[in-house]
Amino acid sequence: MKTTSIRNCQSCGKRFNDCDIVYFVPLDNNIVCPECAYKHDSREKRIVEGENTCSPATIRYNTLIEILRDGGVTPTHVERRFLMWFSTWDNETATTLGELLEKCLKVGGKGEQ
């Protein structure tokens, strides 16, 4: 995933934290927060560079949260703790979970019939 050093949403001004998943909007040539990104059809994920290197687990966790947000789901505290734990697993397993979440959300959370 590409990185950005932009620290605020260039649409609403929201402050970004290190390792947050944000979006580049080619139409406006702006970096925006997830809430502002949903207004645009064309967007590309970016990760906010910080003073410290983002761990792979942090990147996987933030990516899984964004997959849920893209599907219109706001995870509860317990669900966030589960995803945080799951993100510490290897990259292949976390990628499989991400693909499964996307698939389930695309068919209305019902899975394949």
Q: At what angle do helices 56-70 and 77-87 cross, to 10 degrees?
A: 140
Reduced to 3 states (helix: H, G, I; strand: E, B; else coil), residue 95 is: helix
pLDDT value for 106: 67
Specify the DSSP class assigned to residue 89.
S
> How far is residue 14's CA from residue 35's CA, in Å, rounded to a whole number?
10
pLDDT value for 109: 46
Asked if 47 and 20 count as a contact pair (C-beta separation under 8 A), the reply is yes
Pairing of strands 44-48, 2-4: parallel
- pLDDT tens over the chain, length 113 residues: 788 999 999 999 999 988 888 999 998 899 999 889 888 888 898 988 876 677 777 877 788 777 777 777 777 776 777 777 777 777 677 677 777 777 777 655 444 44
pLDDT value for 30: 93
Beta-strand runs (E) in 1-113: 2-4, 21-25, 30-32, 44-48
User: Smallest Cα–Cα separation from 24: which of 55, 15, 16, 40?
Assistant: 40
pLDDT value for 33: 92
Partners of residue 3 on adjacent β-strands: 47
pLDDT value for 110: 44
Asked if 66 and 48 count as a contact pair (C-beta separation under 8 A), the reply is no
pLDDT value for 38: 81
CB atoms closer than 10 angstroms to residue 32:
24
